[in-house]
Structure 1
Amino acid sequence: MLQAFALVLQKKPARRLACAVVAAAALAGCASAPEAPSATGKPAAAAAAKPHWQRVHLGAGGGYDFPVYASHRLDGDLSRIREVVFMQHGLQRNGDDYYAAGAALLKASGRNPDEVLLIAPNFPGTPDQGKGFDGMPHWSVQGWMSGENAVNAPFPVSSLQVLDDLVALVTDKSRLPQVAKVTVAGHSGGAQIVHRYAVLNNVDERIRARGIDLRYVVANPSSYLYFTPVRPAGPDGKSFAPYDKAVCPDYDKYRYGMQDIVPYARGADGLSLYKRYAGRQVTYLAGTEDNDPNHRVLDKACGAEAEGPTRLQRARGYLRYERYLASPGLVIRHQAYEVVGVGHDLAHMFGSQCGAKAVFGLPESANQDGAACQAPQL
């Protein structure tokens, strides 16, 4: 894989990202376990082709430790960092693969690696015992995606609070004085938590008021968080009505709706959340070929099915829903693109013309070989 990536760097600039997508796709397809660290938090054994996770201490009071993959030592000198990109893993909790894919795409984009900090958080799940994540919070297999609290004492921390704490870490001007932009990006299961974080967090406006550009990229999630009990209705999905409770009695429960919301957001009001969320900087990406109603990792719970039969249709339905809810004069600061000819594929989504621009700030003119993007077909 290192040989393949060396070839990428010899290509003409306009072709670097397209070639890196091939390498990144192979990296993201791996499902290897993270390497256990020593007591100092450093990897116990080095493997040249594998990234190594770092143990960072987060939170107030006693806090907690958490594993991340990162392009710089987080306990080192970060004074030159100008931009931070979070790359959130999906259902397999394989932060190493997502970090490797993001690093390949970032390097091919030509950005200065000394000024960009790439971080791939890795939420330990209950099946991950024995992988070195001792003394850290662990979540249920899907609980981390929706913001549930960790299941092991004494760490009752929400996965959304972890993102709060990571964002606080990289926007600490005493350690990263030059940071001006933070992008939180996720694909598939990672996009589910990024979307809910973009809706529910209470830190966004404060961070932007300090002059830091905070953005979210949501690519191909299985479901979205609805603010009211209506869902796409009618033969074309272009109208909205309450879903049939005889078909799905709990369709409006969190993580699909506002009922029984996680403690992190307890007491939140749906419409108030929507109005706040409309002003946040969110980019949606949907692959035009992510249209298989029987995809092996598509959420097929009835609450998800209430949003539509495929990821592509769920994305289009949610974009229509945002417009449906909007009151006159409300400015929605969201962007949305469909990535033409791409399915459920991290590397090709983020390596597309609109994806590389949203995640890495790469102009479309410098990525002519990336997949083309079009306006949502609503």
Structure 2
Amino acid sequence: MGVFYSCSKSENKALIVPETRNLFFESSAIDIKRTETGYVTANLKYTGTALNTPLTVQYSISQPNQDAAVEDVDFELPATSGTVVIPVGKNSVTTTLIKSILKNPEVGTKSVSFNLQPLNDFILGKPNKQEGSSILVNITEGLPIDNDPDDRIGDKKMAITVSGNTFKIPYFSNVTSIDDENTSITRAVIALQGANRNAGLYYENMLVAAKMESMQLDTLLVVSPQFLVESEIVDFRLDSEHLYWSSGGWKIGFLSKNEAQNPRPGRVSSFTMIDSLMTLLVKKNPNLKTIVFSGHSAGGQFVNRYAAASPIPTELKNSGVNVRFIVNNPSSYVYMDNTRIVPGTTDFEIPQTSCITFNEYKYGLDDLPNYLTAVGADQIRTQFAKREVLYLLGEEDNNPNSSSLDKSCEAALQGNQRLERGMNYFQYLQSYYGDAINNTQSIGTVPGVGHSHSGMFQSEQGRFYAFRK
């Protein structure tokens, strides 16, 4: 006969021991100097029964004192912050608290606190210790980090507000700020960057061209806006208000990017940014009479398509401000219909080709992106004929094997190399619009110059149309 054991209800109750489960940061504080780079991370730990489902832990961020660090001034948070997930089978995880420490000339220690939020049936803090429920990050004194020793990124910023959100792009200029009113300025020259987004170099060479004219520079505003890509946002540790584009998108008016690691609350066309720039220049320079766009290579692509697409030049012309476009040596052009030159002739016909996308934008007006869709293909065709445009081509920019030449099938239908494509395009415009196009648009060549923005900007023709005409 077996032996049976019994106990009272009170004895049964005493045997049930509630499980203790703790969540805590393994450190209570981290010190980091402003001169340091890289991420600020912390270990979050869990003690208790092994997890059979992922554990989501939330934390909040607070300023612990009057000398608190400020987001986007002293530090930048990662794309996803405020939540940590401890995986199944793990009892700790490393989380990124701060993505980067930002340049801030103020001295003194600045602090920010990361505080665990309550979770049902968990105790915050280390077992038997009154610490670990929060972690303090102290950003200590030190010289600000120079993330841009070569001054590649423009130190001046142009801001735009879209749906209540402020965005900005860098620019280079010979004035302190384009936001300041200036009654001396009568002409503005906007130099559009190349594929390497080297707006500073384009600005410098356009300024050299201006000085070659021996003109009164106090009446001239030179500005070179800079369109960035995501890698530059990361490498130069720019704040979240800076817009960025794909390497090909900025030059044809596409919307800025919004990627998971560098999110933005909105997206803006590069053409919209230039619309805003022109409107600002007219507002802040009441005696402004002429705005000249000059872009080379990728910048030439921008100028060609912007001249066709933007409605703003018409508005400015009606208010007494003339807008001129100089298109220097682009790899391709935007066509108004689906005809292309018949090789060996001066005729333009619909090509018999396997390149079925040859007339899609950026090469034609099919499948237009947001900005151009809003304007409409018919209005683009109509207004483009009224725009004052000079197509300026380097006579030695004729290498069909150039490493930076667009060799796609769509571009190849426009010609074999840049010089030929430019000549073909102007013949096309005469064919499409008739002789009337010669009243507003013209073409010129620069002897002895190949694919060089400085050579084009500083040529006699480039200087005449930018500063004298």
In structure 2, C-alpha distance between the alignment counterparts of 1:134 and 1:198, rounded to whole Å = 31
Instruction: State the match for 2:27 in structure 1.
Output: none
Instruction: State the match for 1:149 in structure 2.
Output: 255
Q: How does 1:194-209 map to 2 (within 5 A)?
A: 194-209=303-318
Q: 1:101-139 CA deviation, whole Å, 9 max, x = no partner?
A: 112221222122211111011101122122243221110
Residue 328 of structure 1, CA deviation: 7.0
In terms of fraction of residues, the more strand-rich structure is 2
1:56 has 2:158 as partner:
yes
Q: Which has the higher contact order (CA 8 A, sep 6+)?
A: 1
Q: 1:238-276 CA deviation, whole Å, 9 max, x = no partner?
A: 111112331x11111110011111100115554542332
Corresponding residue SS for 2:278: helix
Instruction: State the match for 1:358 in structure 2.
Output: 465
> Of 133, 136, 141, which residue of structure 1 is paired with 2:238?
133
1:242 has 2:242 as partner:
no
Structure 2 unaligned runs (5+)? 1-101, 106-143, 259-263
Amino acid at match of 1:116: L
Residue 50 of structure 1, CA deviation: 8.1
In structure 2, C-alpha distance between the alignment counterparts of 1:162 and 1:179, rounded to whole Å = 19
In structure 1, C-alpha distance between the alignment counterparts of 2:293 and 2:443, rounded to whole Å = 16
In structure 2, C-alpha distance between the alignment counterparts of 1:51 and 1:81, rounded to whole Å = 25
Greater Cα shift, 318-327 or 193-202 = 318-327
1:116 has 2:239 as partner:
no
Structure 1 unaligned runs (5+)? 1-36, 363-378
Instruction: State the match for 1:176 in structure 2.
Output: 285
Are the aligned partners of 1:87 and 1:121 in contact in 2 as well (CA < 8 Å)?
yes
Q: Judging changes above 3 Å, is the alpha-carbon distance between structure 1 residues 332 and 47 closer, same or farther for their aligned structure 2 residues?
A: same
Q: 1:78-97 CA deviation, whole Å, 9 max, x = no partner?
A: 23211111001110001111
In structure 2, C-alpha distance between the alignment counterparts of 1:268 and 1:205, rounded to whole Å = 13
Q: 1:174-228 CA deviation, whole Å, 9 max, x = no partner?
A: x211111111110000010111000000111110111111111100000000010
Are the aligned partners of 1:88 and 1:121 in contact in 2 as well (CA < 8 Å)?
yes
Instruction: State the match for 2:391 in structure 1.
Output: 284
In structure 2, C-alpha distance between the alignment counterparts of 1:263 and 1:286, rounded to whole Å = 30
Q: Judging changes above 3 Å, is the alpha-carbon distance between structure 1 residues 275 and 86 closer, same or farther for their aligned structure 2 residues?
A: same
In structure 1, C-alpha distance between the alignment counterparts of 2:326 and 2:161, rounded to whole Å = 24
Are the aligned partners of 2:295 and 2:326 in contact in 1 as well (CA < 8 Å)?
yes
Are the aligned partners of 1:124 and 1:133 in contact in 2 as well (CA < 8 Å)?
no
Are the aligned partners of 2:395 and 2:445 in contact in 1 as well (CA < 8 Å)?
yes
Q: Judging changes above 3 Å, is the alpha-carbon distance between structure 1 residues 178 and 219 closer, same or farther for their aligned structure 2 residues?
A: same
Q: Judging changes above 3 Å, is the alpha-carbon distance between structure 1 residues 267 and 55 closer, same or farther for their aligned structure 2 residues?
A: closer
Are the aligned partners of 2:293 and 2:324 in contact in 1 as well (CA < 8 Å)?
yes
In structure 2, C-alpha distance between the alignment counterparts of 1:268 and 1:357, rounded to whole Å = 32
Are the aligned partners of 1:228 and 1:270 in contact in 2 as well (CA < 8 Å)?
no
Instruction: State the match for 1:220 in structure 2.
Output: 329
Instruction: State the match for 2:9 in structure 1.
Output: none
Are the aligned partners of 1:227 and 1:271 in contact in 2 as well (CA < 8 Å)?
no
Instruction: State the match for 2:274 in structure 1.
Output: 163
Corresponding residue SS for 1:266: helix
In structure 1, C-alpha distance between the alignment counterparts of 2:152 and 2:348, rounded to whole Å = 48
> Of 385, 402, 410, which residue of structure 2 is paired with 1:303?
410
In structure 2, C-alpha distance between the alignment counterparts of 1:111 and 1:214, rounded to whole Å = 20
Q: Judging changes above 3 Å, is the alpha-carbon distance between structure 1 residues 329 and 111 closer, same or farther for their aligned structure 2 residues?
A: closer
Residue 357 of structure 1, CA deviation: 0.6
Corresponding residue SS for 2:165: coil
Greater Cα shift, 262-271 or 150-159 = 262-271
Corresponding residue SS for 2:277: helix
Amino acid at match of 2:250: W
Residue 47 of structure 1, CA deviation: 7.5
Are the aligned partners of 1:126 and 1:139 in contact in 2 as well (CA < 8 Å)?
yes
Are the aligned partners of 2:185 and 2:285 in contact in 1 as well (CA < 8 Å)?
yes
Greater Cα shift, 304-313 or 352-361 = 352-361
1:71 has 2:210 as partner:
no
Instruction: State the match for 2:425 in structure 1.
Output: 318
Corresponding residue SS for 1:114: helix
Identity of aligned residues (%): 28
In structure 2, C-alpha distance between the alignment counterparts of 1:267 and 1:309, rounded to whole Å = 33
The structure whose Rg is larger is 2
In structure 2, C-alpha distance between the alignment counterparts of 1:325 and 1:104, rounded to whole Å = 37
Residue 76 of structure 1, CA deviation: 3.6
> Of 67, 79, 82, which residue of structure 1 is paired with 2:186?
82
Q: 1:318-364 CA deviation, whole Å, 9 max, x = no partner?
A: 001001112576664012101112111111112111111111227xx
In structure 1, C-alpha distance between the alignment counterparts of 2:416 and 2:150, rounded to whole Å = 42
Are the aligned partners of 2:340 and 2:414 in contact in 1 as well (CA < 8 Å)?
yes
Residue 160 of structure 1, CA deviation: 0.7
Amino acid at match of 2:394: G
1:294 has 2:401 as partner:
yes
Instruction: State the match for 2:207 in structure 1.
Output: 103
RMSD after superposition: 2.5
> Of 291, 298, 301, which residue of structure 2 is paired with 1:192?
301
Greater Cα shift, 309-318 or 72-81 = 72-81
Greater Cα shift, 97-106 or 215-224 = 97-106
In structure 2, C-alpha distance between the alignment counterparts of 1:148 and 1:347, rounded to whole Å = 27
In structure 1, C-alpha distance between the alignment counterparts of 2:376 and 2:186, rounded to whole Å = 35
In structure 2, C-alpha distance between the alignment counterparts of 1:329 and 1:118, rounded to whole Å = 32
Instruction: State the match for 1:17 in structure 2.
Output: none
Residue 162 of structure 1, CA deviation: 0.8
In structure 2, C-alpha distance between the alignment counterparts of 1:38 and 1:165, rounded to whole Å = 28
